Structure 1
């Protein structure tokens, strides 16, 4: 097991303050988590899909990011980096190392090169963020299909003294089972937990949550939420006894932690664990115009999979046309419960022929 120090820039310290701040940012339908260490170092884990993350970083006083992490390359996790990277110039960029599946992610990688970010591919290691915070990297397991970005999410266990938090992107059961087998003691008893895949019913599992035993579960979700969080997932979270908060109802969720393990939870709206009243949903916006080469009009889906059934990924389909027909039958482009349209342009599985 290797221990990597993230260059001198990540370990230089001013006088140490008392608290670590972990913010689950309200970026709409997507994930973005901002970490500020006691000595002022900053990490952004995912960036949502628009300009909201950059706005919030500025609001919270970030001048430059020491570390940016893309859990995986789906648009609702990396699209916001198009605004974040030029403005906050991450020093280091941690990612899953898979080839870019979309034009949007390619643009993010180009922007990172332009600001001189050092790229690191996730592997079994511990990173230091400043003097007092460690980040245990959980790389995607070898068993994860390479054509499934969710299953190749990068996990992090954040530690500050006795306080710990878990971030897992959109990891799927194939991922979490492998992590639980490889890192059972590291994962046991982590109080703060980011819900996987915005509370999809296909991602979090009772066995994994029993190992983590969270006290606080934060769900990153927005009004155009593709059915997230799913009632089955919410019931699963309820059974853990954890305090459950949602960015669509509570706004940005802030954890303020001390090295002795004590922490407080505050919410932008409502009380922690007691959501603010949900405002009426605005009318659905028209689908964004498609970008890049378009597929011919797809016929009605007649393949072997149920569009309303178990979660599917691009590896289940032989051609783009087959994937597009399934995507439309499942509600696309307005709804994408299977996550097949990775850059939000109305076209499913563009990596297929």
Structure 2
């Protein structure tokens, strides 16, 4: 059978995916037994096929069991020290990663001291500390002793959200620790992996030379193109490259490997007349060093492994095959760490490469008769083939698509090779003479400036980028099947399909996606985990969508915005393309800061805020609403918002005569009671006991099945009398790490005394409530 390695790698991948989805040893063993029985029944007496099938089953089993074992080790390696104050002794095993006001390192653990006892441990942790005027770089290989609280990273905290634990596991990291400078002791430098140390040393040397030879932006771009170092690029520039569809040029991959292999082989074979075996071995060694310089990124490893397979095949006089080389590279990376399968760089790199191998030729044949110049046809074919391969992955992770990527790639393609070659020469010559590197840099600066100019111009075009909801997994599978059929199988077999069958296929697909949408749905409320803040999403049975608050970030030093990072991705993952109503309960940052990007980037029909509020607090939200022609309303007690025939909000606070000078801003919060048939929920903003007491005294109907505890569970709220009047079945506390003592132990004890189940977003992640109007079901993202 041709390309058995392709079948084996696919089997291994299916095994890893099955283990991740089921997380069950029993299911894996049962599936292996079922597949084994099926093979015996279907392939009796066919020894060749039987042998291949059994090897595929072996790879499936190994992939599944390896993932389950490694996943279990990763989850439990530091379980005994979770949330404990410990001292970690280890060795720095990475270069510093700077982000905003913090810097982080990977530390290879040697031992952990807890309660006076020392425990020998392996594994890795992520150590984070604050940047300051006197911060120091902890170099690779340096012994370090860190005192702080050890935390185990949580999994996915919101539906469709970022899985931090899985992300860290891709680097072998099982826990995190934060410590200030005074709680860190640095020891001697120890011998470490020679290849890693060499890579970090050369990486720093290259970055230093480029930084000294070019202006800041151009240097940052060149460092990204040469070795994947993006530290010199601002977030704004990286965003521009993403919107223009040029991010891939800052990701080191196959093109960089080609720029190393071909010139080096030409030099060694043609100019120095070395034998093929010596030239190939020398090239392989250079590739290994280059991979270490780039930090062993999966995309670079994929390209390097494929190149090494081809070079080794030439030494052994074996003909290389692209798909077999791709399969070998995938297997090698997944055997080393099955978590690599969920690395975005891994997925994008392999998808683009496979797509180029399969579709480039046929796409070029389609474009060739169109009277397009050959050079343009080549660039177009490469760009389209790669884009076809990575499109679903891009939409799944980033929820956007660049409509200008073909134009931008066509414009910059002619100078990319020149930039890379000149940049490589600068990096080498600069080790001897910075002056020579700067002279070459004058030329390269012009090319780099051109790329920066094109990226900014194309990204600023109207409708350069469109936001999309996260595609369903089934839709992604169908997409790849269709692409494989129309761009590879159909041209290869010269298949002709009558037009009526296209209509039939379209009708079946449309029906398969529309029918589920017609199924009856109930009310859905999600208390989004936004850390220390509030954000609640409501979708009625008729499809009306509401967002109450958007969380926020109180640190003005950080560029991080919870709206961009959590709320908008959640909405897109939830299939929301438009919000009918956005509500700001009051003017504190931890409630409204995240609403700013929502109003800027999302389709919003209406924005409401409390009538008594000082408009200065909502100035930016109101200005964005005005610019985007969003309807703006203010609400007071007694108002009602009809969402659909069965669902409405009733406003319980603030009163029309609310005096902001005499009461806190918290007490201006909108208090909303959501009614859906026989079910109700009470959203209280940040009101304090004065307003709670008034609601009780006024004999307002505040009874509810679900209560959102006011002010993040603070001791200023959730009083005894208020709880008795509401009589909730479940209380949700939206809270994160904070210095305010939220939630108050007094409030927690009060709820426990009444035996009311308490769900906290800091412990349970997002809280998802569903109701058919008679019953309520509640689940959380974290156990």
Do both share a fold (TM > 0.5)?
yes
- Alpha-carbon distance in structure 2 between the residues aligned to 1:109 and 1:91: 13
The counterpart of 1:259, out of the listed 768, 773, 778, is 773
Matched, 1:47 2:550: yes
RMSD: 1.7
CA separation of 1:26 and 1:53: change in aligned 2, threshold 3 A:
same
CA separation of 1:150 and 1:178: change in aligned 2, threshold 3 A:
same
- Alpha-carbon distance in structure 2 between the residues aligned to 1:153 and 1:177: 15
1:24–1:252 contact (8 Å) kept in structure 2:
yes
CA separation of 1:183 and 1:42: change in aligned 2, threshold 3 A:
farther
- Alpha-carbon distance in structure 2 between the residues aligned to 1:87 and 1:131: 29
Matched, 1:116 2:629: yes
Residue 90 of structure 1 aligns to a residue whose secondary structure is: strand
The equivalent of 1:243 in structure 2 is 757
- Alpha-carbon deviation of 1:18? 3.0
Matched, 1:170 2:686: yes
Residue 537 of structure 2 aligns to a residue whose secondary structure is: strand
1:26–1:247 contact (8 Å) kept in structure 2:
yes
CA separation of 1:213 and 1:86: change in aligned 2, threshold 3 A:
same
More divergent stretch after superposition (63-72 vs 232-241): 232-241
The equivalent of 1:107 in structure 2 is 620
- Alpha-carbon deviation of 1:240? 2.6
The equivalent of 1:76 in structure 2 is 590
2:672–2:684 contact (8 Å) kept in structure 1:
yes
- Alpha-carbon deviation of 1:141? 2.9
The equivalent of 1:219 in structure 2 is 733
- Alpha-carbon distance in structure 2 between the residues aligned to 1:107 and 1:45: 17
- Alpha-carbon deviation of 1:142? 5.3
Matched, 1:204 2:718: yes
- Alpha-carbon deviation of 1:210? 0.4
Aligned residue pairs, count = 252
Tell me the TM-score normalised to structure 1 length. Answer: 0.68
1:82–1:107 contact (8 Å) kept in structure 2:
yes
1:136–1:156 contact (8 Å) kept in structure 2:
yes
1:66–1:92 contact (8 Å) kept in structure 2:
yes
- Alpha-carbon deviation of 1:233? 1.3
- Alpha-carbon distance in structure 2 between the residues aligned to 1:221 and 1:133: 27
The counterpart of 1:231, out of the listed 745, 758, 766, is 745
> Greater RCO between the two (CA within 8 Å, min separation 6)?
1
- Alpha-carbon deviation of 1:181? 2.9
The counterpart of 2:522, out of the listed 12, 15, 19, is 19
- Alpha-carbon distance in structure 1 between the residues aligned to 2:706 and 2:649: 14
The counterpart of 1:86, out of the listed 595, 600, 614, is 600
CA separation of 1:196 and 1:38: change in aligned 2, threshold 3 A:
same
Q: Deviations over 1:24-49 (max 9, x none)?
A: 00011100010011111111111101
- Alpha-carbon distance in structure 1 between the residues aligned to 2:519 and 2:580: 17
The counterpart of 2:666, out of the listed 122, 127, 150, is 150
Matched, 1:268 2:771: no
1:143–1:174 contact (8 Å) kept in structure 2:
no
The equivalent of 1:36 in structure 2 is 539
Q: Deviations over 1:98-120 (max 9, x none)?
A: 22344xx3111111222222222
- Alpha-carbon distance in structure 1 between the residues aligned to 2:672 and 2:730: 16
- Alpha-carbon deviation of 1:175? 1.4
- Alpha-carbon distance in structure 2 between the residues aligned to 1:134 and 1:195: 20
1:210–1:240 contact (8 Å) kept in structure 2:
no
Listed as ranges, the gaps of 5+ residues in structure 1 are 1-13, 271-353
Q: Deviations over 1:79-104 (max 9, x none)?
A: 001111122232112211322344xx
- Alpha-carbon deviation of 1:16? 7.4
The equivalent of 2:675 in structure 1 is 159
- Alpha-carbon distance in structure 1 between the residues aligned to 2:725 and 2:567: 31
- Alpha-carbon deviation of 1:137? 1.1
CA separation of 1:208 and 1:16: change in aligned 2, threshold 3 A:
farther
Deviation beyond 6 Å, 4+ runs, structure 1:
none
1:163–1:257 contact (8 Å) kept in structure 2:
yes
2:708–2:731 contact (8 Å) kept in structure 1:
yes
Matched, 1:140 2:643: no
Q: Deviations over 1:111-141 (max 9, x none)?
A: 1222222222112122111232111111313
2:532–2:738 contact (8 Å) kept in structure 1:
yes
More divergent stretch after superposition (144-153 vs 247-256): 144-153
1:141–1:175 contact (8 Å) kept in structure 2:
no
Tell me the TM-score normalised to structure 2 length. Answer: 0.31
2:696–2:721 contact (8 Å) kept in structure 1:
no
1:213–1:240 contact (8 Å) kept in structure 2:
no
2:582–2:604 contact (8 Å) kept in structure 1:
yes
